[in-house]
Structure 1
């Protein structure tokens, strides 16, 4: 029997330092997130970051927390509830980090008699800190707990026509009554070395700002997060007919001490008013579900900074979340696989 497991990032159980600390520990101690030797990672995370970050992050989570709980969890559950009735096989929901574990999700499917599972990482663009870590952990759990199961997975869907249409339709709907100077495509940032590490061809030597580093369809582009981001943008603006001078690509959420993908979202947005760009809309296509990075970092913090620097109007475009068309797309992909 076949079944599917939708897998998102995860969330602490509450916006308190007590719950945020173990969540951050699990997240940051992941060797695919901070990819340095274990002892150095432990020193950095447990010796430095976790001394202050839990309280800071808890404050940020508290700003976006809903009565029902974490927005990412609530929205993911709403999506799951819409996808299941449209799917021809059992569908479960899990998170890479936190209490809604992948093991629990697989157990839920196993209890329904599922032996063949479609792993569905809810990340459009491939990255070792998102897609890869999900697939690796799921396989480790399968070997230990569910050896009778067989896995398939949904590849990065950054350029799939249905996904592109969903993003384009969402942007079009939210921009209908907003006269913008610039549409910012803000993707989650990753260290440049992550792109090089996932490139089996070892062809990534230098990145040129605002230019795609690989040709889509080539071996070097298969796991290139940066190329995936630029291609998603190209396809969306092509469908919407947005001129080149009306949009840009940026990367957010970097950590200090490393060279991360550029240009940086906060730097670009802060400088826009000085260049006469006073009305902007920001879309975050690396996320299919609104979360801390979209609701607090973009919709709150980036908006405040933009206005403080002379910006006049700021629109944060929501993620696809539980949009009916997006849920239909997800269920269609599951059904196509299950045939």
Structure 2
């Protein structure tokens, strides 16, 4: 039995040109776990409307943040891969859920090295239907079709691992040192409210009012994205010693007219600026790699909104990216599994308190 690990991130267009952005958006938005409506409606929306209007605008946004080496998300993920490999004695490959760096290629790379047991690690601290679940489903499909002898071990959301919270808190503290700020916004990627309900394993106990997010030891929290975001904020705030009222949780990015998780980041930035907040800091813990959503939507558009309403200082804290200590967190997850594969990763490592 030879073990291997596949790290999986979101993905990126091959270039910031409209044709490549269109190809990427087509694959991404046609995923039924991203836009979870019937195929005919999804096809009409994506191929009939979005792909005829959005690629040019998105390409302009990608061009603003594109690096000489390529897509920031891809480059940073590859750098992270190198650092993880330095800290483990098992084959580790990298793949993207969307784009040309496919999961099939990543699995094949491990199989070619003789791996028969593969641990997949979605690079998302919090579980969501449109992130972690779609990776798990895609892996299952590929294994059934192309790698029937391959054994797969999934990784639970790692949002409350003590080592992850410690590293995330440290990355924030380093940027806050000497910084004069009035409010810290913890901005997470948004999802439609219906995604939370579809992931609810409690048969309807989720009331979407935020209260059940803070119930201790509720089994539904294992798949509740909103809970996991809220608790990430709580645990980091506790680690940093932040005072109540100096930080809050919001959700960015939304598509269509259905209700998404609230409060919205852009409207919160605007409201706080109008209320007199002059110095704001933003951290984006749903992303481990800086990408379009952090570098353009937050760092550029968010700052513009803040300045337009009277804000003065707008500081965006980088994602964990390729930090060596974050690579060590992933290495810890790998080594825990490799040393005792029959024990679930969530039970091997202690977790921080939910409140």
TM over 0.5: yes
Q: Kindly provide the CA deviation profile for residues 119-174 of structure 1, in whole angstroms up to 9, marking residues without a partner as x.
A: 00000111000000000000100011111100001100111101100110000000
Residue 51 of structure 1 is matched in structure 2 by 52
Aligned position for 2:178:
177
- CA offset digits 1:168-196 (Å, max 9, x no partner): 00000001121110000000000000000
Give 1:87's aligned residue: 88
In 2: Cα distance, 1:22 partner to 1:217 partner = 42
CA–CA distance in 2 between the matches of 1:155 and 1:31?
21
In structure 1, stretches of 5+ residues that fail to align are none
Residues 94, 102 of structure 1: 8 Å contact kept:
yes
Larger deviation, residues 15-24 vs 194-203: 194-203
Deviation, 1:219, is 1.6
The answer to whether 1:141 aligns with 2:142 is yes
> Counterpart of 1:300?
300
**Partners of 2:274 and 2:199 in 1: CA distance:** 37
Q: Distance in 2 between matches of 1:217 and 1:258?
A: 30
Asked if structure 1 preserves the Cα contact closer than 8 Å seen for 2:270 and 2:306, the reply is yes
For the residue of structure 2 that corresponds to 1:244, the secondary structure is coil
Number of residue pairs the alignment of both structures matches: 338
Aligned to 1:60, the other structure's residue is in SS state helix
Q: Does the 8 Å CA contact 1:283/1:318 hold for their aligned counterparts?
A: yes
CA distance in 2, matches of 1:71, 1:326: 17
Whole-angstrom CA distance in 2 between matches of 1:96 and 1:217: 31
Could you tell me how far 1:206 is from its partner in structure 2?
2.9
Per-residue CA deviations over 1:218-240 (Å, capped at 9, x if unaligned) read: 12211000000000000000011
Secondary structure at 1:61's aligned position in 2? helix
Deviations 1:61-102 (A, max 9, x none): 000000000000000000001101211210000000000000
d(CA) in 1 for partners of 2:297, 2:216: 30
Match of residue 232 from structure 2: 232
Instruction: Mark the CA change 1:216 to 1:145 in structure 2 (over 3 Å): closer, same or farther.
Output: farther
Does the alignment pair 1:163 with 2:164?
A: yes
Q: Could you list the runs of 5+ residues in structure 2 that have no partner in the other structure?
A: 340-355
Cα distance in 1, alignment partners of residues 84 and 214 from structure 2: 34
Query: Which residues in structure 2 correspond to 1:1-339 (within 5 Å)?
Result: 1-208=2-209, 211=211, 213-339=213-339
Tell me the TM-score normalised to structure 2 length: 0.94
CA contact (8 A) 2:24 2:98 kept: yes
